[in-house]
Structure 1
Amino acid sequence: MDNTLVHKTATGAIWATIDRFGNMALQFIVNLVLARLLMPDDFGAIGMLAIFIAVSQVIIDGGFGNALIQKKNPSQTDYSTIFYWNIGLSTVMYSLLYAFSPYIAIYFKMPILSDVLRAIGLILITTSIISIQTVRLRKQLAFKTIAITNLGSYITASGLAIYLAYIGWGVWSLVLLQITSGIMSIILYWLQTRWHPSLTFSTKTICSLFSFGGYLFAAGILQEVCKNLQGIIIGKKFSATQMGYYSQAYKLDIVCSYSIPQVIVQVMFPVYSSIQDDKQKLIAILSMNIRIISFLIFPLMGLLILIAEPLINALYGEIWLPCVPYFQILCIGGLFACLQNINFYAVAAVGRSRNLFLWSFYKWGFLLAALLIGINWGIYGLLWGMVLSSLNIYLINAYLAFRFVGISIIHQIINILINIALTFIAFTLAWTINSYFNLHFIIISMIFTLSYLVLAYGFKNKGLFESINLAKRLIK
């Protein structure tokens, strides 16, 4: 990678990290406050509707966002066309959600869900209005503007949500959190970016971009349906309370297992696309990313499994302790989930979206089968089915990266197994010490972390030294 690209990538990584972790910290704090003001049923209601919003957003994007990023020199006509397309499609999708919301409420046997879905569905329109602004900024690696805008909008919305929860608005405080955040994002993005759509629309643009983005679009729909399918099953098969416990455990797991990988994916996809013709350079960068992510995320997942009960009690209170085993099982799946998108976007960057789409049928078919089989053993069986599916998806994406990028699957697995082994040793040591002395979870965390770092240094783990070098580069 040349010096200019290194500088832009490093700067982008800094601001993408600020954006991701700043928002993550804010969401985490706000969620802690709201969890003590609201009931599990309130979170469960939002969790039941997540699939409808997620799938609608994928349909609206249509894969065009990533297609514009992957395209080397998109024109003003390209941007304007997709802008108007997104606005029109978001209006259609919101109308459909509005019309079918009573039937969705009947399915879950919760009448309030009809009004909740009609309100929260407005974020489809707010997201579409800023879609091209965010695409252009990502393509330019202008993550500073994205970070400032996202943080500003969420700070404003969270203040309102906490106040509404405090005065007893219940689930509506969660609804207005998302709507207000969307409205503020529109205001801030349009104030900070100078791009405006032209009065032009090209069907040729739609067709050409869909040739790439269309497969990502279809794969994205399958991914969102299957990723949120467990919410529909839990909400229907069990109760809103159990859905609330699952939702809280899932959100905490996502924060921990996806935050660092998402920062890297967000920054590296434009970089992957810019060097898609240089396979050796692409393989080198992809390999380094896998080593860094597994080095950082694997011990984090192990530590969270170890201290899950005292951690959740300290953060959310005793009322949320039933979600502890849910969280621990999800963390096991997080070991593999954290690496899925790294391989996925490397394959997408070299223009193999069609192959990603075709293989997605197998990946998500496996998940559906795992969920349907696992549900026979209750909610825990369903969660273990998710873990097996997470491993399966990683292996498929690793195979596709080997086939189309050229990175060795064996090489990936060796790097991963090294970090799993170090995590297991540190986990066993910390667990043994705690079983004898029953220490505070902060002390146990320190013992675990120190043990892991000493082991990594002793075994000359590449991930350790690459993480240090990356941190130094970002600081400079």
Structure 2
Amino acid sequence: MPNSSSLENKTMTGLFWSFMDLMSRGGIQLGLQIIMARLLLPHHFGLIGMIMVFIAISNTLIDSGFSQALIRDKKTTQLDYSTVFYFNLLVSLLAYGILFVSAKFISAFYNEPQLIEIIRVISVVLIINSLGIIQRVKLVKEIDFKTITKVSIFSVVISGLITITIALLGFGVWSLVINMVLTHLIQTVSLWFYSRWIPSVAFSYKSFKKYFGFGSKLLASSIIDTIYNNVYSVIIGKTYSTSQLGYYSNALKFRDFTALSISNAVERVSYPVLSSMQDDENRLKMAFEKIIKTSGFVNFPLMIGLAAVATPTFGILLGEKWLPSVIYFQLLCIAGMLFPIHIINLSILQVKGRSDLFLLIEVIKKVILTVLIILAVLLKTGIIGLIVAAVVNSYISMFVNTYFTGKEVAYSTRKQLNDLLPAFTISCIMGLTVFWVGNMLTMNYIFILAIQIGIGVSIYIVLCKIFKVKELMIIYQIIRNGITTLKPLLKYKKKKQTF
């Protein structure tokens, strides 16, 4: 087992590169999204939003929880990897075939004839993704997020440039379809190049059974979670106009750029690290507490801050035609505040091998969300009411997640709430102030946004220093470690340019 100091340094470096990967890739995709939003119509984004639930469910089925099982296992073999690789590929082919045949029925459900060809083309990403799952898993197990970052940036830049060109030529919704296929194709080819892993011509039923025992419960919970994460798109797409779904879809994408970037960055690094501590209860608990507090410290102000500056941000980046998305975005940000807390608590259950509890928790939370959605529909609250139901569910889910985690690790709901309260309180004070300032100003959107950001950052840092919030120093350390790892690269490039 690696010593505590080296593991912490590796974690800090891994977290930096993981965050750099997600933020740089997300940043490029966000830039692409902004350009595409100006070139295309809400209707085009609505068409893609209608079918993403089917792609998301298929991807979940293809992975089947095997990725997490492989990462958790300390003694994986070439035969194990090869077995999972062939299983993933087989399921992807079956999923593609089912979607190809079902395209007509999905099109009829939404009354959108154009969806038939879109589904049949975009579903190719399922097969492409399945070919790179093991390569990515191996890099994650090694906490080599530097390589993953290179692959991600390269794929989104190349596919993005091609997509913009296609959109300018007037291909409409097909530019979004081609972007999705190209991004995953370039990413998978790059993963094969960097990983150098090649499957053996072998399949082991013993290996399959070993990982399926753990992964099957994660699969069931993931399918439930995926369905409910996309149920809003189905309801809005069926009940309201395609353009309304486009407004919602773009609001969701902008929210997820920050919320999921932070959540996924933390999860990708913390899961393999916490898995390596699974036999040491004290170290596991200490690491768990540190990750929870740091995640809240970063995500709370970002989400509340984004909600506070939503109007000038959308006005500047997307233009007046996208302002109906603002209220959706603000509510989604309030729900997204707790995403990292949800993910880390659930990761602990996976580390402890409690995939049965993982599944039970998902069932409980989705029953609650179903009741909330039914109430919103019966009360005819519209899209706003549906999103408010998601906000309420997010906060109820925190109590459900932390209750069960507290039984596995000595870190109760009350203790987590106490640890998160300082960052939450300071973030709310900052957000309300920034929102009030924005409403008081009547100048150009650019000046309003600049003033709001300056005030928000200043208030948060000053209050954190006054109340001696320790996570401020932890974030500083993560950034410093990341800069330290970048310096040799920058020096090498500079030295190379002198020759």
C-alpha displacement of 1:455: 0.9
Q: Is the 8 A contact 2:309 2:434 kept in 1?
A: no
Q: Is the 8 A contact 1:337 1:391 kept in 2?
A: no
- Partners of 1:130 and 1:436 in 2: how far apart? 51
- Partners of 2:36 and 2:407 in 1: how far apart? 46
C-alpha displacement of 1:462: 2.3
Paired position in structure 1 for 2:392: 388
- Partners of 2:304 and 2:144 in 1: how far apart? 34
1:469 pairs with one of 444, 461, 477: 477
Superposition pairs of residues 84-233 of structure 1, within 5 angstroms: 84-233=86-235
1:2 pairs with one of 1, 4, 8: 4
Cα deviation, 1:294-341, whole Å, max 9, x if unaligned, reads 111111122112111111010101110000110111111112223210
Q: Is the 8 A contact 1:108 1:235 kept in 2?
A: yes
Return 178-187 or 429-438, whichever deviates more.
Answer: 429-438
Q: Is the 8 A contact 1:288 1:466 kept in 2?
A: no
Paired position in structure 1 for 2:355: 353
Paired position in structure 2 for 1:56: 58
Instruction: Check 1:200–1:238 CA distance in 2 against 1; reply closer, same or farther (3 A cut).
Output: same
Q: Is the 8 A contact 2:92 2:130 kept in 1?
A: yes
Identify unmatched segments of 5+ residues in structure 2. Answer: 485-499
Q: Is the 8 A contact 2:278 2:284 kept in 1?
A: yes
1:454 aligns with 2:470: no
Q: Is the 8 A contact 2:16 2:479 kept in 1?
A: no
Paired position in structure 1 for 2:450: 442
1:417 pairs with one of 405, 421, 438: 421
C-alpha displacement of 1:90: 0.3
Q: TM-score under structure 2 normalisation?
A: 0.93
- Partners of 1:234 and 1:431 in 2: how far apart? 28
C-alpha displacement of 1:21: 1.0
1:47 pairs with one of 46, 49, 58: 49
1:269 aligns with 2:271: yes
Instruction: Check 1:432–1:180 CA distance in 2 against 1; reply closer, same or farther (3 A cut).
Output: closer
C-alpha displacement of 1:151: 1.4
- Partners of 1:467 and 1:14 in 2: how far apart? 10
What amino acid is aligned across from residue 408 of structure 1 in structure 2? S
Q: TM-score under structure 1 normalisation?
A: 0.97
Paired position in structure 2 for 1:367: 369
The Cα RMSD (Å) is 1.4
2:434 pairs with one of 430, 436, 451: 430
What amino acid is aligned across from residue 239 of structure 2 in structure 1? K
What amino acid is aligned across from residue 470 of structure 1 in structure 2? I
Superposition pairs of residues 250-269 of structure 1, within 5 angstroms: 250-269=252-271
- Partners of 1:433 and 1:41 in 2: how far apart? 34
Paired position in structure 2 for 1:404: 408
C-alpha displacement of 1:352: 0.8
Q: Is the 8 A contact 1:23 1:150 kept in 2?
A: yes
Q: Is the 8 A contact 1:51 1:224 kept in 2?
A: yes
Cα deviation, 1:137-170, whole Å, max 9, x if unaligned, reads 1111111221111211111111111111111111
What amino acid is aligned across from residue 220 of structure 2 in structure 1? A
Identify unmatched segments of 5+ residues in structure 1. Answer: none
Return 196-205 or 362-371, whichever deviates more.
Answer: 362-371
- Partners of 1:304 and 1:244 in 2: how far apart? 20
Return 335-344 or 324-333, whichever deviates more.
Answer: 335-344
Aligned pairs, how many?
476
C-alpha displacement of 1:438: 4.1
Return 221-230 or 394-403, whichever deviates more.
Answer: 394-403
Instruction: Check 1:151–1:458 CA distance in 2 against 1; reply closer, same or farther (3 A cut).
Output: same
Cα deviation, 1:249-295, whole Å, max 9, x if unaligned, reads 00111112221221111111000111011121111111111111111
What amino acid is aligned across from residue 365 of structure 1 in structure 2? V
- Partners of 1:234 and 1:44 in 2: how far apart? 10
What amino acid is aligned across from residue 307 of structure 1 in structure 2? V
**Sequence identity percentage:** 34
Paired position in structure 1 for 2:490: none
Q: Is the 8 A contact 2:266 2:340 kept in 1?
A: no
Could you say what secondary structure the match of 2:19 adopts? helix
What amino acid is aligned across from residue 468 of structure 1 in structure 2? Y
Q: Is the 8 A contact 2:305 2:434 kept in 1?
A: no
- Partners of 1:343 and 1:414 in 2: how far apart? 16
Instruction: Check 1:438–1:422 CA distance in 2 against 1; reply closer, same or farther (3 A cut).
Output: farther
Return 181-190 or 206-215, whichever deviates more.
Answer: 181-190
Instruction: Check 1:452–1:147 CA distance in 2 against 1; reply closer, same or farther (3 A cut).
Output: same
Cα deviation, 1:230-257, whole Å, max 9, x if unaligned, reads 1100100101100000000001111122
- Partners of 1:122 and 1:5 in 2: how far apart? 39
- Partners of 1:303 and 1:432 in 2: how far apart? 12
